[in-house]
């Protein structure tokens, strides 16, 4: 593949600044827009994170909802009908589907834009169907289940010239802009290391979802309200299981709802869940285009062909680019953390559940995708004067930023031009888990191939089940 995934800071700043004057500020009152100014939106995946998107899409014109759970669809029907009655709204109820392929077949002409909030393994098949039809797409993070899919979606979005957005909501906030402005002003000098950590997939004090196991035996009856075949979608067929009957996860759900993240077939692990939040700002601030190598430094030794390990430490090697030297990104999850002294954290203080530390030649700085950068030690902030604000800001919110782009405004700040390369970088860490501890994976971003361990190349993409191809 000759096409690269480069999107330079100059291109980013130019596209943002030129389009600034085109930004449309949308009316605040729910349903107050005339039909000519509204988007016909289909929401695919309406549980969990998808719930927020349904409510937000009602501010436009929600024409369809899709979910494998008929129970969820019925529940939304009652809630939407009640909302229409309360606000004196006279328009058709959204049509409902349990299979998004049927939705696209029947409603292609009635849809302007699609919101995707499915499990990870459906992100690419759903989004690609929409893109091929020329529809605008908002897709939850990570953009895709694997690296190859991320590249394909980015290229398809460029070809179709539609408005796109990744659901890493912090991209609409001040935090990543301040991070860029701080680092570009040279406050801590050239950055040599960045350390990210998260409490996903679980810590002793907080459990999120199971990892570090294998497929339990047996089979449970598929609930009448669940379209299990559509839930599996592009993944290999397997029997439905409701809960674990024994072992360390006894009583917890196996696949649905939500706990699919720890399975290779369906999720992308802790890194896929939080990486596109945590790494988005640093990706821009450090002018990253790709990694040259990645290595699993440590894990809990319970990785299997079915599930991610309980916890892991991963290192990504970033080559020199623009005016910045090579640097290393370290990822910690599942209760593993960087050294406490890196944050100058007292022994009595608990490590934050999530965070990032930058190590520069002239100092250190901590940050998260939701909060402004803070110098280490914090006493340095007493007389600190922030650098000038030079980047365009979001005047609305992450979702409205996308709908504005759909209507001809400036491109969203987490369009697939950003989300594609970012997701490629994030999911490269999962190739390191596949390789095992201490086996450095040398990466060629241009061709999307592992140079030194060819046995990993089948995991760069996946074989989609017939009928669910992209």
Angle of helix 269-278 relative to helix 416-435, nearest 10 degrees, comes to 150
Residue 134 has a pLDDT of 98
Residue 370: pLDDT band by 50, 70, 90 thresholds?
confident
Least confident range from 6-20, 178-192, 263-277, 379-393: namely: 6-20
| Cα–Cα distance, 165 to 162 (Å, whole number) | 10
Domain boundaries, the chain: 9-173+394-417, 174-216+257-392+424-459
CATH node for 174-216+257-392+424-459: 3.30.360.10
Domains 9-173+394-417 and 174-216+257-392+424-459 share a fold: no
Q: For strand 40-44 and strand 113-116, is the pairing parallel, antiparallel, or unpaired?
A: parallel
What does the DSSP assignment read for 283-337?
HHHTT----SEEEEEEE-S---SSB--S-EEEEEEE--BTTB--EEEEEEETT--
Residue 235 has a pLDDT of 98
Give, in order, the Cα–Cα distances in Å from 122 to each of 83, 109, 274. Answer: 29, 22, 18
C-alpha closest to that of 436 among 303, 292, 307:
303
| Cα–Cα distance, 282 to 315 (Å, whole number) | 15
Condensed to tens digits (0 to 9), the pLDDT of residues 248-258 reads: 999 999 999 99
pTM as predicted = 0.92
We find that the CATH architecture of domain 9-173+394-417 is 3-Layer(aba) Sandwich (3.40)
| Cα–Cα distance, 104 to 119 (Å, whole number) | 18
Residue 27 has a pLDDT of 30
Residue 145 has a pLDDT of 98
Which of the 8 DSSP states describes residue 469?
-
For the chain, give the mean pLDDT: 92
Arithmetic mean of pLDDT, 72-97: 96
| Cα–Cα distance, 319 to 329 (Å, whole number) | 11
Residue 386, both tokens: 């922030």
Backbone φ, ψ for residue 361 (5° rounding): -65, -25
* pLDDT for residue 358 is more than 60: yes
Condensed to tens digits (0 to 9), the pLDDT of residues 260-314 reads: 999 999 999 999 999 999 999 999 999 999 999 999 999 999 999 999 999 999 9
Least confident range from 96-105, 115-124, 348-357: namely: 348-357
C-alpha closest to that of 9 among 196, 176, 190:
176
The answer to whether the beta carbons of residues 356 and 367 sit under 8 Å apart is yes
Residue 47: pLDDT band by 50, 70, 90 thresholds?
very high
């Amino acid at each position: 593949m000759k096409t690269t995934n480069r999107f330079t800071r100059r291109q980013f700043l130019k596209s943002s600044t030129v389009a600034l004057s085109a930004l449309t500020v949308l009316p605040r009152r729910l349903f107050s827009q005339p039909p000519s100014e509204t988007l016909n939106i289909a929401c695919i995946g309406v549980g969990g994170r998808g719930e927020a998107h349904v409510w937000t899409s009602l501010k436009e014109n929600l024409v369809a909802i899709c979910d494998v759970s008929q129970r969820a669809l019925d529940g939304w029907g009652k809630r939407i009908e009640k909302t229409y009655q309360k606000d004196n709204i006279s328009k058709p109820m959204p049509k409902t589907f349990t299979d998004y392929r049927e939705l696209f077949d029947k409603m292609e002409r009635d849809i302007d834009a699609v919101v995707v909030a499915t499990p990870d393994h459906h992100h690419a098949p759903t989004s690609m169907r929409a893109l091929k039809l020329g529809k605008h797409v908002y897709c939850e993070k990570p953009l895709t289940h694997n690296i190859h899919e991320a590249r394909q979606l980015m290229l398809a979005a460029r070809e179709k010239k539609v408005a796109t957005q990744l659901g890493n909501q912090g991209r609409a906030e001040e935090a990543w802009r301040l991070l860029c402005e701080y680092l570009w002003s040279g406050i801590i000098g050239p950055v040599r290391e960045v350390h990210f950590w998260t409490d996903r997939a679980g810590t002793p004090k907080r459990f999120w979802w199971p990892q570090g196991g294998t497929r339990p035996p047996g089979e449970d009856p598929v609930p009448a309200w669940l379209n299990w075949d559509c839930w599996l979608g592009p993944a290999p067929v397997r029997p439905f299981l409701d809960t674990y009957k024994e072992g360390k996860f006894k009583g917890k759900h196996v696949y649905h709802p939500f706990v699919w993240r720890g399975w290779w077939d369906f999720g992308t692990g802790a890194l896929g869940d939080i990486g596109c939040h945590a790494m988005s700002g640093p990706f821009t601030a450090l002018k990253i285009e790709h990694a040259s190598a990645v290595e699993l430094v440590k894990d809990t030794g319970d990785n299997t062909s079915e599930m991610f390990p309980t916890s892991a430490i991963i290192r990504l090697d970033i080559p020199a680019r623009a005016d910045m030297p090579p640097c290393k990104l370290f990822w910690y999850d599942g209760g593993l953390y960087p050294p406490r002294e890196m944050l100058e954290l007292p022994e009595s203080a608990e490590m934050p559940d999530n965070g990032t530390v930058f190590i520069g030649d002239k100092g250190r700085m901590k940050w998260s995708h939701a909060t402004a950068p803070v110098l280490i030690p914090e006493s340095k902030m007493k007389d600190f004067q922030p650098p000038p604000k030079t980047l365009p800001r979001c005047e609305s919110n992450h979702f409205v930023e996308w709908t504005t782009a759909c209507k001809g405004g400036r491109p969203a700040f987490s369009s697939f031009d950003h989300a594609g390369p970012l997701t490629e970088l994030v999911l490269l860490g999962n190739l390191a888990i596949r390789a095992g501890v201490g086996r450095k994976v040398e990466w060629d971003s241009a061709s999307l191939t592992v140079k030194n361990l060819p046995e990993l190349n089948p995991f760069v993409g996946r074989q989609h089940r017939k009928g669910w191809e992209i």
